[in-house]
Structure 1
Amino acid sequence: MAGIALCEPHCLYNILNQKRRVSRLAEANYLCLLDARTQHEYNESHIITARRIEQYLVPDSEELRCVRYCVVYDCETSSLDYSSKGRYEESEVSFYCADLFLKQTELEASRLDPLGEEGGQFTRHPVLILRGGYKRFSACYHFLSTQKILWMPQELDNFQPYPVEILPEKLYMGNFKQACDQQIQRNLKIKAQVNISEQPATLFAEGGKYLHIPVPDSLEADLFSSFATICHFIALVAKVLSPGSYSVQVPNIYLLSCCLQRAWDYVLQCKTNMRPHRGFVKQLSDWETQIYGTTITDISEPNY
């Protein structure tokens, strides 16, 4: 159905953990996360910042009009198909609610613009249904579940995001503070770490695999000479461990088994404010040329 799409658990995880100066959860029009389960289930535990849909009532239209992400979840919906009996089963509550949202948006759009022009569209983005519902998400990310209902603006400002997930349960990308956080290491089960900075990470889990590339964050820094070492390290630990990575550079280097453009676009979906400096982008382009024997990606385009 147009306007409704499935959202994988790792995609919602990344939506929850985006950050600019502060967590993006503090932005009023960033995320509307709705729990379609029973009141009892919601009270027991729900995903952070989620609100329960009261008796399947659609949120205020003004609230949804400009929201970037609207995500609905129930217990364990796993597809966009509803019952062949012509009614929604209990396990399809999120689909039912998303369908209601679309009906309201269509009605609102026609009221605002009876001629049906593009400017009268109510939303720009589809309503997302969490694949596998709360059951699957909480199994993967139990540390993002809570009983807390009301979130004050200051609490959202101070919310500390986790590293974004590049490859589900395999590869993460974060900052130096996250790299040194033992709670994050335990929750994400980090067993290996690549640290690209002048300062070595502290308090890394005992027995974990660790690679430190001591280079400054500057246009003149030489990362190219370490690319092969980084890729070899990740490939080696991936055979026996679930590798964790904590640098904006590493995923782009490792994912260059495909061309730079595809690797770049993929990482950008995971971390929407990824902006490495031009010196590193040029070295990535050189790495692509070395791998493929020719330059595939035109880094003079504004996207890079």
Structure 2
Amino acid sequence: MTWKEMGVLLSRVNNSCRGSSGEPVNTSETASGSICDGEVRGADSDRCSVAPIQNNERVLVPAFPVSAHVERGYITPQQVYNLLSAEEGQPALYDSYYILILDCRSTERYEDSHVVTARAAVTVIHPVLGCLVSCVELQKYSTILLYAEEGCSPVGSAKARTDSPDLLHCFFQLSSLGMDPVILLGGFSAFHALYPFLCTPLMVLLEAERHTLTIYPSEILEEALFQGSASQASDYRIINNLHITHVVNATANWPDAFPGTLRYLRLRLSDDAQQELVEALPLASRFISSALMGDPAGRVLVHCSAGRSRSSAVTLAFLMEHRRWSLLHALRWLKERRACSAPNMNFLRQLLSYEELLFGSKITSLNDIRR
């Protein structure tokens, strides 16, 4: 099937999947071809398809990604989660100097539970003695993160001085040394509410201890869409902790790990210059959209072998079609949340064709996304 033929198919699906109100409804139609071995597997596998969101001209109107405004010097719990999940060759968290997390609460609260790899702030910034770690040592860290129990009052405000004096002491001490620390919005309580599995009473500091940590898939859309590796998709603890309900398996040979528990879309894709995506992209986009729009809403994990190329192509196609983002904006969004994402050049060219099919014209150039 060519991209032109796929455009006709999308238009037909679009028309057949709208009720009298013009809103999309579920359909069991799937793209034909040999890309899948039983395209959708698991319970209720007929609810797998949602039409692309299109206007009367049958093309999408481009939209811009909108993120919640975060003041400079602050970081959201989701951003911290993705920092802890980052991979580039190997998990970034395995590097002892990747991130310095300082728990600015009481010793008792720290010993009860803290963000994984966090140190009690008093071991770095003493209330009386000041900095206990040399400036040279501090400069080795790519990120220095501070958190209190809760709250997100502006640094220097009267409320912040009352709510978290120890955090402010650490912040200004580090700033005076030329560091650029960031503060966790909502504090430990906000992070723990979303990611309790990344909190622990254990002190994890040494590199050998870090290698025992579980590395999670990246969170692309909050509490909705995740992207990772085949090994992560086969770890039931990860699946359970993230409340995953649907999985897009974009590997050629890796088996579906939990077919009796989760709903799967199996795409047998190879990460090479010959692999065509013309049927896989709209099929995967409909599957993901159906899962996220379900009642109750599901959570989707998209994976290939390493979580870099094939899974990125699938995620980008979904963001273009159902968020109405150009390929350039979708790629920027993805890279901010999963820095190791890297669709191969063949996939990028096909994504450019898919963008033109969805929006009716070229928006992104190859040069835009090769920078």
TM range (shorter): 0.7 to 0.9
Deviation digits for residues 252-281 of structure 1, max 9, x if unmatched? 111112111111011101111222210111
Distance 1:25 1:176, change over 3 A: same
Structure 2 counterpart of 1:115: none
Q: How does 1:38-187 map to 2 (within 5 A)?
A: 38-54=106-122, 55-56=126-127, 57-58=130-131, 59-84=133-158, 88-91=161-164, 93-105=166-178, 123=179, 126-187=180-241
Structure 1 counterpart of 2:356: 289
Structure 2 counterpart of 1:117: none
| Amino acid aligned to 1:73 | Y
| Amino acid aligned to 1:12 | V
Residue 207 of structure 1 and its aligned partner are, at CA, apart by 4.2
Query: Is the Cα contact below 8 Å between 1:185 and 1:205 reproduced in 2?
Result: no
SS at match of 1:13: helix
- Cα distance in 2 for partners of 1:276, 1:49 equals 31
- Cα distance in 2 for partners of 1:168, 1:5 equals 21
Query: Is the Cα contact below 8 Å between 1:230 and 1:250 reproduced in 2?
Result: yes
TM-score when normalising by structure 1? 0.86
Distance 1:206 1:91, change over 3 A: farther
Distance 1:280 1:29, change over 3 A: same
Structure 1 counterpart of 2:317: 253
- Cα distance in 2 for partners of 1:218, 1:147 equals 44
Structure 1 counterpart of 2:83: 15
Query: Is the Cα contact below 8 Å between 1:179 and 1:201 reproduced in 2?
Result: no
- Cα distance in 1 for partners of 2:369, 2:267 equals 29
SS at match of 2:74: strand
SS at match of 1:88: helix
| Amino acid aligned to 1:42 | Y
Structure 2 counterpart of 1:280: 347
2:331 to 261, 264, 270: 264
SS at match of 1:286: helix
Structure 1 counterpart of 2:49: none
- Cα distance in 2 for partners of 1:283, 1:152 equals 44
Residue 29 of structure 1 and its aligned partner are, at CA, apart by 3.3
Distance 1:244 1:162, change over 3 A: same
Distance 1:171 1:220, change over 3 A: same
SS at match of 1:242: coil
**Which has the higher Rg, Structure 1 or Structure 2?**
2
Deviation digits for residues 172-193 of structure 1, max 9, x if unmatched? 0001111111111100000111
Gaps of 5+ in 1: 106-122
Of residues 63-72 and 289-298 in structure 1, the stretch that sits farther from structure 2 once superposed is: 63-72
SS at match of 1:224: coil
- With a CA cutoff of 8 Å and minimum separation of 6, indicate the structure with the bigger relative contact order: 2
Query: Is the Cα contact below 8 Å between 1:82 and 1:95 reproduced in 2?
Result: yes
Query: What is the RMSD of the two structures over their aligned residues, measured on CA atoms?
Result: 2.1
- Cα distance in 2 for partners of 1:284, 1:90 equals 49
Deviation digits for residues 82-124 of structure 1, max 9, x if unmatched? 4437x7113464344222211232xxxxxxxxxxxxxxxxx5x
Structure 1 counterpart of 2:53: none
Query: Is the Cα contact below 8 Å between 2:105 and 2:148 reproduced in 1?
Result: yes
Query: Is the Cα contact below 8 Å between 2:256 and 2:264 reproduced in 1?
Result: no
Distance 1:104 1:260, change over 3 A: same
Kindly report structure 1 stretches of 4+ aligned residues shifted beyond 4 Å: none
| Amino acid aligned to 2:287 | F
- Cα distance in 1 for partners of 2:315, 2:134 equals 40
- Cα distance in 1 for partners of 2:243, 2:91 equals 23
1:223 to 266, 277, 296: 277
Query: Is the Cα contact below 8 Å between 2:216 and 2:238 reproduced in 1?
Result: yes
| Amino acid aligned to 1:67 | Y
Of all paired residues, the percent bearing the same amino acid is 26
Structure 2 counterpart of 1:118: none
Residue 15 of structure 1 and its aligned partner are, at CA, apart by 0.4
Distance 1:92 1:238, change over 3 A: farther
Structure 2 counterpart of 1:110: none
Distance 1:77 1:43, change over 3 A: same
How many residues in Structure 1 have an aligned counterpart in Structure 2?
Answer: 282
Gaps of 5+ in 2: 1-70, 303-310
